[in-house]
């Protein structure tokens, strides 16, 4: 989609601080980080929400989650031995959750005590 910010980042038309990439996924640092690690992981194909993605291509949703975990490993948020110190995945969906970019993305957040519940 030519008018989608994240599609334009995948094509390189808009620059991104890329931290991980596979054939079908793309991960880059958030421009307004909410934690020491704040990376967005997306499918290269355009799908608006996680629900629409899992309906259209469940395998691709799995690839996006696997890429998010790989980013967490790369950022030192988990190890091969266990889930320490840990990280959070967030998929905001719709206006009540504050979704502002309508290309599905997982926020990978970590590097501080994230607390629960979120504000």
What are the backbone dihedrals phi and psi of residue 20, each rounded to the nearest 5 degrees, phi first? -165, 145
- By CB under 5 A, is residue 7 in contact with Zn ion? yes
Active site residue 107: no
43 sits in which H/E element: strand 37-43
β-bridge partners, 89 = 108
Q: Which residue bears the tokens 């704040």?
A: 38
- By CB under 5 A, is residue 107 in contact with Zn ion? no
Stretch that binds ligand 5GP, among 58-66, 68-76, 81-89, 96-104 (CB under 6 A): 96-104
Give the span between the Cα atoms of 107 and 105, in whole angstroms: 6
- Name 10's Cβ contacts closer than 8 Å, sequence gap at least 6: 26, 42, 44
Site string for ligand 5GP, 41-80 (x = CB under 6 A): ----------------------------------------
Number of residues that bind ligand 5GP (CB under 6 A): 13
Residue 95, CA atoms < 13 Å, CB-side half-sphere:
0
Residue 24, CA atoms < 13 Å, CB-side half-sphere:
14
- Tell me whether residue 7 or residue 39 sits nearer to Zn ion (CB atom): 7
Q: Which of 30, 50, 52, 57 binds ligand 5GP (CB under 6 A)?
A: 30
Footprint of Zn ion on residues 20-49 (CB under 5 A)? 46
- By CB under 6 A, is residue 96 in contact with ligand 5GP? no
Residue ranges that bind ligand 5GP, judged by CB under 6 A:
5, 16, 28-32, 40, 92, 98-101
């Amino acid at each position: 989609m030519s008018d989608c910010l994240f599609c334009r980042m995948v094509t390189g038309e808009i620059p991104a601080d890329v931290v991980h990439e596979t054939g079908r996924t793309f991960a880059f640092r958030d421009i307004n980080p909410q934690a020491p690690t704040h990376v967005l992981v997306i499918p290269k194909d355009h799908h608006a929400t996680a629900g629409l993605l899992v309906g259209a291509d469940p395998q691709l949703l799995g690839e996006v989650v696997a890429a998010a975990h790989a980013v967490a490993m790369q950022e030192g948020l988990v190890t091969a031995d266990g889930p320490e110190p840990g990280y959070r995945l967030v998929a905001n969906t719709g206006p009540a959750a504050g979704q502002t970019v309508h290309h599905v993305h997982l926020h990978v957040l970590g590097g501080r005590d994230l607390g629960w519940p979120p504000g």
